Structure 1
């Protein structure tokens, strides 16, 4: 199989150059695009591409970009980069097809591992019935309160908001949140979101 080419889409030149340098140094083949529109113009001809895009862009947002790809039946692994507080938008991106999201600022290793995982996941089979059964079993271990906290967390709500809505203290929310991460065996928020979406967990 030909190596994957990381397709970087970001309207900020400095960000594009920085990402391209980091990934090239890490051994990836890289191509950069100034706008989502420019990327979409060449996307149909891309083979073995892996999309890395910022969520907030002036012409077409990262979420809209993913929806355009899906509408055009263009399948490629995708990771979105998001600023702090954009978790609801990142969740929307994952619903539109993104495999993962990375919150800025991030460690270089986190991005590199996420890209490697995205490529491997896309190259292999999607989650099978056994994996979904495992996730469902973990969800079934959660208490009603933990499920309520999980719903708030993967919807992108801050702890204080979840605490207010459930009429409990932020510290109690933190305790439930830690318990949810442990029971779900999730190492990160994106992984937790992936699990709940795979199992079609009801967020409301």
Structure 2
């Protein structure tokens, strides 16, 4: 585990109608250094939900009104990327396993130990940080691609196809020197420090580009 349990902008969103359990969870998490937001129902969380929320969700399976599983399905419809840990009773395990198949991060069965919960939370926060970093890199790469000229894009596609400068020059009907200039501009505009980084970033955003 890291020295700091969560980044300063990450929150653990606890959603549980059981006031005693909810308060106990909040106390445990906050005393371990986490920032916590508590909700007494699925509806209250969804009312507060925004796409820029970070961190993870600790969600009870069984609640009056909208259940935890129904809330999870709604989050899926909203393309929520926050990892979800389900809190379950013994009889709820099959439902929790079903949620795992739909993309939930994990589930923990009552009564659970503090160490087990903290381990799951830290795993989810690490996952969310990594996923958010990946999305930011992909968005940055997409923006950079839009600023390439048509010729630079043609050179880029041929680079990704594994063509050498001489081959690119032959395909495009330009000099090798001109290819070198375009290649340098592509590397600069894409913010890539190496050919491998350039190819990896572009293929992540446009998986089909390598097959062109």
Whether TM-score is above 0.5 comes out as yes
- Partner in structure 2 of residue 133 of structure 1: none
Distance in 2, matches of 1:2 and 1:45, equals: 18
Does the alignment pair 1:61 with 2:67? yes
- Partner in structure 1 of residue 128 of structure 2: 122
Distance in 1, matches of 2:43 and 2:102, equals: 17
- Partner in structure 1 of residue 109 of structure 2: 103
Does the alignment pair 1:83 with 2:109? no
- Partner in structure 2 of residue 183 of structure 1: none
For structure 2, the residue ranges without an aligned partner over 5 or more in a row are 1-6, 133-212
Structure-2-length-normalised TM-score? 0.56
Q: How far is 1:124 from its partner? A: 2.3
Is the CA contact 1:63–1:92 (under 8 Å) kept in the aligned structure 2? Answer: no
- Partner in structure 2 of residue 25 of structure 1: 31
Compute the RMSD of aligned alpha carbons: 1.7
- Partner in structure 2 of residue 48 of structure 1: 54
Distance in 2, matches of 1:81 and 1:17, equals: 14
Deviates further, 87-96 or 71-80:
87-96
- Partner in structure 2 of residue 10 of structure 1: 16
Is the CA contact 2:59–2:85 (under 8 Å) kept in the aligned structure 1? Answer: yes
For structure 1, the residue ranges without an aligned partner over 5 or more in a row are 127-204
Q: Which protein is bigger by CA-based radius of gyration?
A: 2
Q: How far is 1:3 from its partner? A: 3.4
Does the alignment pair 1:112 with 2:118? yes
Q: How far is 1:2 from its partner? A: 3.9
